[in-house]
Amino acid sequence: MSAAAGLWRQALQRLRRQRMSVAAALLLATIMLACLLLPLLSPYDYFTPHFELLSRGPMLAGGHILGTDPLGRDLLLRVMWGCRISLAVGVAASLVSVLIGVSWGATAGYVGGATDALMMRAVDILYSVPFVPFVIVLTVLFGRELWLIFLAIGAVSWLDIARIVRGETLSLKQREFIEAARVSGVRGAAMIARHIVPNLIGIVIIYATLAIPTVILFEAFLSFLGLGVQSPLASLGSLVADGTSEMQSHPHLLIVPALFLAAIIYCFNYLGDGLRDALDPRDR
Amino acid sequence: MNAAAAPDPSALLVVRELTVTYRVSIRGGHALLRAVNDVSFELARGETLGLVGESGSGKSTIARALLRLVPAESGVALFHGTDLLALSGASLQAMRRHLQLIFQDPLASLDPRMRIADILAEPLRVFEPQLTGRQRQQRVLAIARAVGLAAAHLHRYPHEFSGGQAQRIGIARALIIEPELIVCDEPLSALDVSIKSQISNLLKDLQRELQLSLLFISHDLAAVRFSCDRVLVLYLGRVMETAGCDTLFSAARHPYTRALMRAAPIPDPIAARKRRSAPLEGEVPSPLFAPSGCVFRTRCPMAVERCAREIPLLRQVGASLVACHRAEEVDD
Amino acid sequence: MSAGPAGPDALDAPPLRIRRLSVSYATDHGRIEAVRDIDIDVAAGEFLGIVGESGSGKTQLLLSVLGLSAPRAELGGSIRYRQQELLRLDSAALNQVRGNRISMVFQDPMTALNPYLRVGIQITEVLRVHRGASARAAEQRAIDMLQSVHIPDAQRRMRQYPHELSGGMRQRVMIAMALIAEPEILLADEPSTALDVTVQAQILSLFQELRARTGTAIVLVTHDLGVIAEVADRVAVMYAGRIMEQAPVHELFARPRHPYTEALQQSIPRIDAARPARLPSIAGTPPDPASLPPGCAFAPRCIYRMPVCDAVAPPLLEDSPGHWKACHHDGALGKLRGQAA
């Protein structure tokens, strides 16, 4: 059926024309595939120390292509695990924030009036909570758990999405097809689910794509402060933190994870920009 | 307040003293904008009533108030004897199926993310939930055929259609739950010239076939003459004149109706240039600062001191109801 | 292919002569030929109406004259203004013509006026740029100009911003701006379409008055045959980028020679005639400009269609003096009216 996915197909065509975005998507896919497959195929693991091979540079220690860390663990493998954790945190936390943000924002925007005012003031209040002390308190209370980081980041990053979605909903509400649906008898939750949310998908995909790198960076920041994942597990942030302490003697320990972190963030940003051009109806 | 005759018992819709007021933000606070002021009319079964006027006349607001898309401040609108303006909740929802709307911009009125089949099926899902999927499909197909769409069109998205086809879809959506009254809000203005006549004919055929009552909102007098049985001429939210179509176009009694007719372009250079006379001066004032007395007096070539003092009531002059102190002096 | 109504060597040669003009550009959906092989002249002081539906290329035609086509548009053919070939002018030389010798009024004055500048500054700009007039002289001229387009209280209006004016006033300001340098030709793209009926009538009569007073030639583009009938001397009917028919206004309405013109004219309801039971109408929809049929673009909707129509696009030929048509059908028209009854 030629027209089945007409809108999406057109968007994809527009996206394909943007070389940087296509390159970003390909690089991102390569990194994801690598961090999924390499830990399965590699003879090494990320946690067993090898005291005979401490802090070797790249290519200097037999099978360790990117060298080893101060405990003799394969750096490539640790970076791959770091990518796994960082991407998982980024995607999961963004999903959480999209879910909360879209339902919160669409409801506030569509219902309007006092409900809207109340819901958006709640968002304002959460905005004003200082985030770093908040996470520190959480980790002190519950320990350094991975799920906690998902939750903490997701709980805060939905605020932006809620605001964007509310604004978009307000303008959708003025569109004639919403009035047409009201005349057709559509009300309340059905209106939001059938007419508002589907028309928000484009903008939500864009902002979710742009939210992922923000979350990854934030997780890296927390890990850098020592609030992130627990060793021997590592995220890109904690690897960079470890690398920093060795950067005079073994710069590869800093450079390799930092390059991966930068590459992932760049890719998501380019992809998000490309998606914005491809999906945002205002530029059509 | 109103001099209109007692409601015709055969009328499907009786509107009395409808007033709609918007709160608008202006510099330094809010102001009340009276978009519709004390408007009364009837609509008989199977009749097409034209609402005519320039911007600010309140013609679209009347429609939106009747469909309960904007709140009315006062007045009644009896539909089968039930006041539309007093309904709420389930009874309002139940009434919606009898009142439908056709939009000016057909593409904007179709959800860009839905296929045509789903757009047409939506009113059925709401109002006839007992239908099976198969029955729903059959109804959709039947109504699509009736407005001249092909079965293949049903799987497409709105952006794949031209304005004329999109308006057919809009008409089909309005008709699918078999309403008794359809409001057509400038249904032709956004269409290309060569498509307008197709859609005019379609609306007229369907109206006759299904015995629909239509409220036909338009600024195009020629389209109104073709489509309507009776016309209500509005200016700044008030009724200026109402009459049967033939009476109005042959012997308009209100200076504003006359001016509108003089201004309407005629596609015939001989007729167009023969009637050349000075066009009406000025523009429609903002409804926020509506003139006292007769709202039209600031542009009226016949205005006298009395017009500023006294609001003219609708009264019978010849075969028309006219709101003008000097209607008798408007020559034939 | 012969020239337009006035021969190329006539003494009173028309100031604007367009020959074999084509405008095309690439889009997502393929190459669009917006204007195809158009020949038309604008005579000094004439009121030329160009009528067409959306996508007929009428606006593209106007924009190409002022070099305002989209940046990626490809233009072919020739647009001569006096001794200058406009298609080959550099932007500096084109600016000497644009706004000065040929100016333009747009459909939506709100988008054509700068919302952050006072009206007075925008009107006097042309004079200061093209004529090097002093601020004082320019202002006096602008006030005179506003008065001549019947804007009351012109001095006060000069200090207002566009949003403080009504739609009709804004369009008058646009017309004053377009006429202030006393151009030889004024192009107007649907100047009254966005206005109320009574204001449209005011603007149309203003155009006629200004033409009579200043001798400026006016080219008015519209979708509304009624507007054409009110004001134009000569009419060109466009469809799918081509001129289908071109004739003096009375001739065109009394004796249309192209089936499209006939259909357009008859499908419009009239306020001055009893209503028919049905409107004669044109079946189908205008063609997709990205995939035009090989022959006559109107053929698929034409009730006089012959096999040749699908194969060969008919050239625009002079049918009787001053009356040009692009149609293979040579017999009488009139079939449409019979069909509708």
Residue B117's identity, in one-letter code, is A
Q: How many CB atoms lie within 10 A of CB B58?
A: 26
Give the per-residue pLDDT at A284: 39
pLDDT at C340 over 70: no
B266 closest CB neighbour out of C197, C267, C270: C270
Q: Which of B245, B278, B164, B213 has its CA nearest to residue C269?
A: B245
* Position A59 in a domain: no
CA distance B184 to B214: 7
Portion of chain A with pLDDT greater than 70, in percent: 91
pLDDT at A83 over 50: yes
CB distance B108–A183 less than 8 Å? no
| Mutation target vs C (from B197, B206, B208, B224; most C CBs, 10 A cutoff) | B197
The side-by-side arrangement of strands in the sheet containing C234-239 is: C102-105, C185-189, C217-222, C47-51, C234-239, C242-248, C323-325, C317-320
CB distance B280–C279 less than 8 Å? no
CB pairs under 8 A between A and B: 72
**What is the residue-wise DSSP string for B170-233?**
HHHHHHTT--SEEEEESTTTTS-HHHHHHHHHHHHHHHHHHT-EEEEEES-HHHHHHH-SEEEE
CA distance C157 to C173: 9
pLDDT at B129 over 80: yes
Give the per-residue pLDDT at C3: 42
pLDDT at B147 over 90: yes
C253 closest CB neighbour out of B162, B261, B269: B269
- On whether the CB atoms of residues B13 and B79 are closer than 8 A, the answer is yes
pLDDT at B6 over 60: no
CA distance A12 to chain C (A): 13
CA distance C267 to chain B (A): 6
Chain B contact partners (≥3 CB pairs within 8 A): A, C
Is B121 in CB contact (< 8 Å) with chain A? no
Is B162 in CB contact (< 8 Å) with chain A? no
Give the per-residue pLDDT at C339: 52
Strands B48-52 and B74-79: unpaired
At residue B188, what are phi and psi to the nearest 5 degrees?
Answer: -110, -20
CB distance B192–C229 less than 8 Å? no
pLDDT at C231 over 70: yes
Q: CA torsion angle for C274, C278, C279, C285 (degrees, to 10)? A: 170
Give the per-residue pLDDT at B332: 54
| Two tokens, residue C310 | 């699908």
pLDDT at A282 over 70: no
Mean pLDDT comparison of A202-216, B161-175, C25-39, highest-scoring range: B161-175
Interface of B with A in 24-83 (CB under 8 A): 67, 69
Is B312 in CB contact (< 8 Å) with chain A? no
CA distance A213 to A215: 5
Give the per-residue pLDDT at B8: 62
Alpha-carbon distances of B107 from A2, A168, A177, rounded to whole Å: 21, 19, 9
| Mutation target vs A (from B98, B109, B167; most A CBs, 10 A cutoff) | B109
| Two tokens, residue C28 | 């997502």
- Before B71, cis peptide (omega within 30)? no
pLDDT at B5 over 60: no
CA distance B169 to chain A (A): 12
List of chain B residues whose C-beta atoms are within 8 Å of the C-beta of residue A185: 93, 96-97, 123, 126-127
Confidence of residue B7 (pLDDT cuts 50, 70, 90): low
pLDDT at C9 over 60: no
In which residue are the tokens 């040749």 written?
Answer: C308
* Position A45 in a domain: no
Give the per-residue pLDDT at A133: 82
CB distance C272–B283 less than 8 Å? no
Is C199 in CB contact (< 8 Å) with chain B? yes
Helices (H), chain C: 58-65, 91-97, 109-112, 119-126, 135-148, 154-158, 167-179, 197-214, 225-231, 249-254, 259-267, 307-311, 335-340
CB distance A185–B67 less than 8 Å? no
Is A13 in CB contact (< 8 Å) with chain C? yes
Give the per-residue pLDDT at B3: 42
CA distance C243 to C57: 10
Give the per-residue pLDDT at B2: 44
CB pairs under 8 A between A and C: 3
Rg (CA), chain C: 21
Cα–chain center distance at A279: 19
Is A183 in CB contact (< 8 Å) with chain B? yes
| Domain membership of residue A266 as a residue range | 8-36+74-279
Nearest chain A residue to B107, by CA: A177
CA distance C47 to chain B (A): 14
pLDDT at A104 over 60: yes
CA distance C85 to chain B (A): 34
CA distance A164 to chain B (A): 20
- On whether the CB atoms of residues B17 and B71 are closer than 8 A, the answer is no
First-to-final CA distance of chain C: 40
* Position A157 in a domain: yes
Give the per-residue pLDDT at A136: 78
Q: Which of C317, C341, C321 has its CA nearest to residue C329?
A: C317
Model pLDDT for residues B40-61, shown as the tens digit of each residue:
999 999 999 999 999 889 999 9
CA distance B124 to B140: 9
Chain C contact partners (≥3 CB pairs within 8 A): A, B
CA distance B167 to chain A (A): 13
B192 closest CB neighbour out of C54, C166, C230: C54
pLDDT at B328 over 60: yes
CA distance B134 to B136: 5
Compute the average pLDDT of residues C113-142.
Answer: 86
Strands B213-218 and C30-42: unpaired
Give the per-residue pLDDT at A241: 84
* C-beta pairs of A33-42 under 8 Å, 24+ apart in sequence: A34/A80, A34/A83, A35/A80, A35/A81, A35/A83, A35/A84, A35/A87, A36/A84, A38/A76, A38/A77, A38/A80, A39/A77, A39/A80, A39/A81, A39/A84, A42/A74, A42/A76, A42/A77
Nearest chain A residue to C28, by CA: A14
CA distance B98 to B198: 25
Give the per-residue pLDDT at B169: 96
| Mutation target vs C (from B59, B230, B268, B270; most C CBs, 10 A cutoff) | B268
Compute the average pLDDT of residues B193-210.
Answer: 92
* Position A235 in a domain: yes
| Two tokens, residue A159 | 């605020």
* Position A58 in a domain: no
* Position A201 in a domain: yes
CB distance C225–B200 less than 8 Å? no
The helix (run of H) or strand (run of E) holding residue B37 is strand B29-44
pLDDT mean across residues, chain A: 82
pLDDT at C129 over 90: no
Compute the average pLDDT of residues B102-117.
Answer: 92
Q: Which of A55, A58, A50, A46 has its CA nearest to residue A84?
A: A46
Helices (H), chain B: 59-66, 89-96, 116-127, 133-146, 163-175, 193-210, 221-227, 245-250, 255-263, 269-274, 305-309
User: At CA B203, angle to CA B199 and CA B209, rounded to 5?
Assistant: 140
Give the per-residue pLDDT at A78: 86
Model pLDDT for residues A115-130, shown as the tens digit of each residue:
999 999 999 998 888 8
Give the per-residue pLDDT at B209: 92
Portion of chain C with pLDDT greater than 90, in percent: 52
Confidence of residue A247 (pLDDT cuts 50, 70, 90): confident
pLDDT at A153 over 50: yes
Compute the average pLDDT of residues A262-268.
Answer: 91
Model pLDDT for residues B296-315, shown as the tens digit of each residue:
999 999 999 999 999 999 99
Residue C131's identity, in one-letter code, is R
List of chain B residues whose C-beta atoms are within 8 Å of the C-beta of residue C109: none
CA distance C326 to C314: 5
List of chain B residues whose C-beta atoms are within 8 Å of the C-beta of residue C229: 265-269, 272
Lowest mean pLDDT among B69-73, B305-309, C241-245, C290-294: C290-294
B69 closest CB neighbour out of A1, A179, A185: A179
| Two tokens, residue A225 | 């402060």
CA distance A215 to chain B (A): 30
pLDDT at C143 over 50: yes
Confidence of residue A71 (pLDDT cuts 50, 70, 90): confident
Give the per-residue pLDDT at A70: 75
CA distance B175 to B100: 8
Compute the average pLDDT of residues A4-13.
Answer: 68
- On whether the CB atoms of residues B185 and B157 are closer than 8 A, the answer is no
Assign a CATH topology to domain B13-98+179-329: Rossmann fold (3.40.50)
Nearest chain C residue to A14, by CA: C28
Is B113 in CB contact (< 8 Å) with chain A? yes
Confidence of residue A264 (pLDDT cuts 50, 70, 90): very high
Instruction: Look up the pTM and report it.
Output: 0.84
Confidence of residue C288 (pLDDT cuts 50, 70, 90): confident
CA distance C35 to chain A (A): 23
Q: Which of A80, A106, A59 has its CA nearest to residue A201?
A: A106
pLDDT at A3 over 80: no
Compute the average pLDDT of residues A243-266.
Answer: 87
Is C95 in CB contact (< 8 Å) with chain B? no
pLDDT mean across residues, chain B: 90
Give the per-residue pLDDT at A280: 61
pLDDT at C8 over 60: no
- Where is pLDDT greater, at C94 or A73? C94
Give the per-residue pLDDT at B15: 96
Compute the average pLDDT of residues A226-242.
Answer: 80
Give the per-residue pLDDT at A129: 81
CA distance B61 to B51: 11
pLDDT at C55 over 60: yes
DSSP reduced 3-state for C62: helix
CA distance A152 to A93: 8
Nearest chain A residue to C29, by CA: A10
Is B103 in CB contact (< 8 Å) with chain A? yes
Compute the average pLDDT of residues B111-128.
Answer: 93
- On whether the CB atoms of residues C158 and C151 are closer than 8 A, the answer is no
**For residue A262, what is the domain's CATH number?**
1.10.3720.10
The number of domains in chain A is 1
Q: Which of C269, C315, C240 has its CA nearest to residue C35?
A: C240
Alpha-carbon distances of B316 from B230, B303, B320, rounded to whole Å: 15, 20, 6
Compute the average pLDDT of residues A212-226.
Answer: 82
Chain A contact partners (≥3 CB pairs within 8 A): B, C
DSSP reduced 3-state for A146: helix
- Where is pLDDT greater, at B139 or A133? B139
Give the per-residue pLDDT at A5: 53
* Position A284 in a domain: no
Give the per-residue pLDDT at B276: 62
- Where is pLDDT greater, at A143 or B312? B312
Strands C47-51 and C234-239: parallel
pLDDT mean across residues, chain C: 88
Alpha-carbon distances of B285 from A36, B37, B237, rounded to whole Å: 69, 15, 12
DSSP, res C327: -
B67 closest CB neighbour out of A3, A6, A183: A183
List of chain A residues whose C-beta atoms are within 8 Å of the C-beta of residue B170: 180
Interface of C with B in 226-245 (CB under 8 A): 226-230
List of chain B residues whose C-beta atoms are within 8 Å of the C-beta of residue C267: 193-194, 196-197
Mean pLDDT comparison of A243-257, B171-185, C86-100, highest-scoring range: B171-185
| Two tokens, residue C135 | 């601020």
List of chain A residues whose C-beta atoms are within 8 Å of the C-beta of residue C28: 10, 13-14
Burial of residue A71 (CB within 10 Å: 0-12, 13-18, 19+) is middle
Alpha-carbon distances of B229 from A113, B208, B245, C172, C266, rounded to whole Å: 42, 12, 5, 37, 21
B265 closest CB neighbour out of C202, C227, C282: C227
Confidence of residue A61 (pLDDT cuts 50, 70, 90): low
Give the per-residue pLDDT at A283: 40
Is C270 in CB contact (< 8 Å) with chain B? yes
Is A174 in CB contact (< 8 Å) with chain B? no
CB distance B157–A195 less than 8 Å? no
* Position A260 in a domain: yes
DSSP, res B286: P
**What is the residue-wise DSSP string for A177-190?**
HHHHHHHTT--HHH
CB pairs under 8 A between B and C: 135
Give the per-residue pLDDT at C245: 97
Q: How many CB atoms lie within 10 A of CB B146?
A: 18
